[in-house]
C-alpha cells in the first residue's frame, strides 16, 4: 500500500493534513483531508489527475506511473483555473505588480532628480572654484588614430601644476575630433586650459581660445570656404568680412561664416540661420562699414 501525505495551510493560516492511500496491486485509491474522505476510486493502475477544493482553493493531486506498480504522487494548488479565489488572487497580483512598477519608476525618477541636483550643484561648485582659484596655461592636445580601419580616434592631453602631472582622455570616439564650434582638432593643437590651484583635477579646456597658429589655420579655412561660396566678392571684402565675423563672435563667428551653406537644423549650432544672425549683428555691420570707409 502506497501512502503519501502533505500539510496544506490555507489563507487563514489553519493547517490541514492531506494524504493518499493507493494499493499497488488492487489499484484502489483514497484521498483524505484530516478525517474526511475526499475521493475514493478503484482500479487505478495508470497515471491520473484529481482536482478538488480545500475550502476556496482548487487543488490538484497527480498520480504518475513511473514503473511496474510504481507511482509518483504530487500535490499543488491550481492557481490558473478561473475560480473565485484565483480571480481575486490575480487582481491582487496585478495591483502588486502595478505598485511594484510604480515603486521602481518612482525610485528611478527620484534617483534621476537627485543625480541631476547633485551634478548641477557640483557643476556650480566647480565653476566657482575655477573662478576663484583658476590658473590658466596652454595645453597641447594629442589626437591618435586607433584600430586598423583608421575610423577610431582618441584625444588626450597632459598638464602640470607644480610638480604633479595630470592626464585626461576622451576615450574612443568614432569620428575625427572637433571643437564645440565644428572646426577640426589636429594632433598637437593647443588651447587654453584652466584649472583650480586648490584641486588641479578640476579643469576645463577653453576651445574658444586656441593658440595663435591654430587660430591662423581657422582663419585660412574660413577665408577659403567663404570665397568658394561667394566668388564674386573682392579679396579686400573677403578679408574684411572674415575679420568682422571674428570681432563679432570670436571663433564662433568664424564658424557662422564657415558653415553658412549648412541647412538649418536643430542639431547644428552653426548653419545658414546662425550666418544670417551674424551678418545682422551690430558689431559685424560696424566693422564692414569701417572697411568701406577706409577704401
Residues 5-15: what's their mean pLDDT? 86
**Last-in-domain residue among 187, 211, 235:** 211
Q: DSSP labels for 238-266?
A: HHHHHHHHHHHHHHHHHHHHHTTTSPP-S
Residues 2-27: what's their mean pLDDT? 90
Using a 10 angstrom Cβ sphere, with 0-12 exposed, 13-18 middle and 19 or more buried, the burial of residue 269 is middle
Judge whether residue 293 has pLDDT over 80: no
Residues 101-129: what's their mean pLDDT? 87
What pLDDT, on a 0 to 100 scale, did the predictor assign at position 290? 84
Q: Residue 264 — very low, low, confident or very high, per pLDDT cuts 50/70/90?
A: confident
Asked whether residue 217 falls in the same domain as residue 207, the answer is no
pLDDT tens digits, one per residue of 51-82: 999 988 899 999 999 988 899 999 999 988 88
Rounded Cα distance, 203 and 165, in Å: 13
Asked whether residue 207 falls in the same domain as residue 244, the answer is no
Q: Residue 292 — very low, low, confident or very high, per pLDDT cuts 50/70/90?
A: confident
Asked whether residue 63 falls in the same domain as residue 39, the answer is yes
**Last-in-domain residue among 44, 79, 114:** 79
Asked whether residue 198 falls in the same domain as residue 263, the answer is no
Q: Is residue 127 part of a domain?
A: no
Q: Is residue 42 part of a domain?
A: yes
CATH of the domain at 7: 2.40.128.180
Judge whether residue 294 has pLDDT over 90: no
Asked whether residue 137 falls in the same domain as residue 200, the answer is yes
Asked whether residue 228 falls in the same domain as residue 155, the answer is no
Q: Residue 118 — very low, low, confident or very high, per pLDDT cuts 50/70/90?
A: confident
Asked whether residue 221 falls in the same domain as residue 281, the answer is yes
Asked whether residue 288 falls in the same domain as residue 239, the answer is yes
Asked whether residue 194 falls in the same domain as residue 242, the answer is no
Is-contact 156 170, C-beta < 8 A?
A: yes
Q: Is residue 117 part of a domain?
A: no
Asked whether residue 199 falls in the same domain as residue 252, the answer is no
Q: Is residue 94 part of a domain?
A: no
What pLDDT, on a 0 to 100 scale, did the predictor assign at position 122? 78
**Last-in-domain residue among 196, 211, 226:** 211
What pLDDT, on a 0 to 100 scale, did the predictor assign at position 273? 93
What domain range is 154 assigned to? 133-211
Q: Is residue 89 part of a domain?
A: no
What pLDDT, on a 0 to 100 scale, did the predictor assign at position 295? 61
Q: Is residue 99 part of a domain?
A: no
What pLDDT, on a 0 to 100 scale, did the predictor assign at position 145? 86
The reported pTM is 0.60
Domain count across the chain: 3
User: Which position has the grid cell 551690430?
Assistant: 282
Asked whether residue 201 falls in the same domain as residue 246, the answer is no
Please, what sign has the CA dihedral across residues 101, 103, 108, 109? positive
pLDDT tens digits, one per residue of 170-225: 888 888 899 999 999 999 999 999 998 888 888 999 999 999 999 999 999 999 99
Question: Edge-to-edge strand order for the sheet containing 189-196?
Answer: 164-173, 152-161, 134-146, 189-196, 199-210
Amino acid at each position: 500500500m502506497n501512502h503519501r501525505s502533505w500539510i496544506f495551510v490555507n489563507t487563514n493560516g489553519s493547517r490541514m493534513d492531506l494524504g493518499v492511500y493507493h494499493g499497488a496491486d488492487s489499484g484502489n485509491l483514497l484521498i483524505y483531508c484530516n478525517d474526511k474522505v475526499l475521493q475514493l476510486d478503484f482500479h487505478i493502475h495508470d497515471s491520473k489527475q484529481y482536482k478538488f477544493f480545500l475550502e476556496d482553493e482548487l487543488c490538484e493531486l497527480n498520480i504518475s506511473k513511473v514503473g511496474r506498480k510504481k507511482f509518483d504522487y504530487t500535490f499543488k494548488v491550481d492557481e490558473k483555473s478561473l475560480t473565485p479565489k484565483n480571480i481575486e488572487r490575480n487582481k491582487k497580483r496585478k495591483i502588486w505588480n502595478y505598485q511594484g512598477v510604480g515603486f521602481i519608476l518612482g525610485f528611478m525618477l527620484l534617483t534621476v532628480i537627485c543625480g541631476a541636483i547633485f551634478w548641477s550643484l557640483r557643476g556650480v561648485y566647480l565653476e566657482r572654484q575655477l573662478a576663484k582659484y583658476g590658473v590658466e596655461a596652454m595645453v597641447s592636445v594629442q589626437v591618435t588614430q586607433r584600430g586598423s580601419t583608421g575610423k577610431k580616434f582618441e584625444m588626450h592631453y597632459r598638464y602640470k601644476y607644480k610638480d604633479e602631472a595630470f592626464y585626461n582622455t576622451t576615450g574612443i570616439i568614432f569620428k575625427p575630433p572637433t571643437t564645440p564650434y565644428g572646426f577640426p582638432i589636429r594632433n598637437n593643437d593647443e588651447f587654453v586650459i584652466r584649472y583650480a590651484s586648490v584641486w588641479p583635477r578640476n579643469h576645463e579646456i577653453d576651445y574658444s581660445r586656441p593658440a595663435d597658429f591654430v587660430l591662423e589655420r581657422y582663419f585660412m579655412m574660413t577665408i577659403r570656404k567663404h570665397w568658394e561660396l561667394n566668388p564674386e566678392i573682392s579679396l579686400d571684402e573677403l578679408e574684411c568680412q572674415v575679420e568682422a565675423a571674428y570681432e563679432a563672435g570670436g571663433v564662433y563667428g568664424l564658424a557662422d561664416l564657415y558653415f553658412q551653406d549648412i541647412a538649418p537644423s536643430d542639431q547644428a549650432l552653426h548653419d545658414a540661420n546662425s550666418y544670417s544672425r551674424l551678418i545682422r549683428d551690430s558689431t559685424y555691420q560696424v566693422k564692414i562699414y569701417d572697411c568701406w570707409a577706409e577704401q
